[in-house]
């Protein structure tokens, strides 16, 4: 099932295009990396995918529903997580549990399943034992982990992560890749991740979307590589 499609998309800031000729598809159950040099508009590509930016030209389509038939649930973890200020009043548990409200009204009472999903997500990122700590007391890496946990607690159909392994040591990075691969294999979720560490994450991936510079200096998505052999290139 196709969750995201971009067709001949052009986008830029001010009057200068930063992305041109972008055509790609993201399908359910894929673990996809987005890569390219610094300045290659990778974050911009993610924001276009999610409808947070509107293309100048071309079309971006986001599936209204996931494979379950329910409204599509998206978990998005942007960069600059460490910007939580030290006075942020919420505890880790409260923050991650708030992701469960994506499944219904903010006024509803959370049930046993909500609490179980919150606990599972925090344990998956190794933060359950700190659940009563205040967010403002955490390191940048710990804040990154709880934001990932909140996204996992949402039980997302599509999980979009912008350089999520920044600041992680090697063991933590490989544990994270295993966790993301399990999300696709066990739950049928789709994971799209911006990364610079292709050499170490490639064995876990289904596909790589690479941004490359054109002769005129603008960026385009001109390479989609199958890592597993069972996904055809998007263009």
Q: Which of the two residues, 141 and 5, has the higher pLDDT score?
A: 5
Q: Hey, what domains does the chain have and what are their CATH numbers? A: 1-72+157-235 (3.40.50.300), 85-155 (no CATH)
Dist CA 164 CA 99 (whole Å) = 18
Residues 6+ apart with CB under 8 A from 75: 99, 150, 151, 152, 154, 156, 158, 159, 160
**Please, how many CA atoms are within 13 Å of residue 37, restricted to the half-sphere of its CB?**
8
Q: Of 16, 140, 28, 30, give the one whose Cα is nearest residue 86.
A: 140
Dist CA 197 CA 177 (whole Å) = 11
Query: What is the mean pLDDT of the segment spanning 158-170?
Result: 91
pLDDT tens per residue, range 19-71: 888 888 999 999 999 998 888 889 999 999 999 999 999 999 999 998 888 89
pTM for the predicted model, two decimal places: 0.87
Q: How many residues are given for the chain?
A: 235
Q: Give the pLDDT of residue 33.
A: 94
Where does the pLDDT of residue 125 fall: very low under 50, low under 70, confident under 90, or very high at 90 and above? very high
**Please, how many CA atoms are within 13 Å of residue 1, restricted to the half-sphere of its CB?**
17
Q: Give the pLDDT of residue 229.
A: 36
pLDDT at 233 over 50: no
Query: What is the mean pLDDT of the segment spanning 189-207?
Result: 92
Residues 6+ apart with CB under 8 A from 8: 21, 22, 23, 57, 58, 59
Say how many Å lie between the first and final Cα of the chain, rounded: 17
pLDDT tens per residue, range 58-101: 999 999 998 888 899 999 999 866 555 656 678 999 999 999 98
Where does the pLDDT of residue 16 fall: very low under 50, low under 70, confident under 90, or very high at 90 and above? confident
Vertex 182 angle, CA 37 and 25, to 5°: 50
């Amino acid at each position: 099932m196709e969750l995201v499609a971009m067709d001949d998309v052009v986008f830029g800031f001010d009057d200068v295009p930063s992305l041109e000729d972008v055509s790609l598809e993201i399908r359910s159950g894929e673990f996809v990396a987005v890569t390219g040099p610094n300045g290659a508009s990778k974050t911009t590509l993610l924001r276009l995918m999610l409808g947070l930016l509107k293309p100048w030209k071309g079309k971006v389509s986001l599936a209204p529903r996931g494979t379950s038939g329910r409204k599509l649930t998206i978990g998005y973890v942007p960069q600059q997580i460490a910007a939580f200020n030290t006075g942020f009043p919420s505890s880790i548990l409260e923050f991650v549990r708030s992701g469960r409200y994506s499944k219904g009204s903010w006024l509803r009472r959370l049930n046993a399943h909500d609490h179980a999903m919150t606990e599972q997500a925090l344990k998956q990122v190794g933060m359950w034992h700190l659940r009563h700590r205040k967010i403002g007391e955490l390191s940048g890496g710990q804040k990154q982990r709880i934001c990932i946990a909140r996204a996992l607690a949402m039980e997302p159909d599509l999980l979009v992560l912008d350089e999520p392994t920044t600041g992680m040591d090697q063991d933590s990075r490989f544990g994270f890749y295993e966790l993301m691969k399990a999300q696709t294999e066990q739950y049928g979720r789709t994971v799209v991740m911006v990364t610079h560490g292709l050499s170490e994450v490639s064995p876990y991936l289904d596909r790589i979307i690479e941004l490359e510079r054109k002769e005129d200096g603008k960026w385009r998505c001109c390479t989609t590589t199958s890592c597993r052999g069972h996904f055809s290139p998007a263009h």
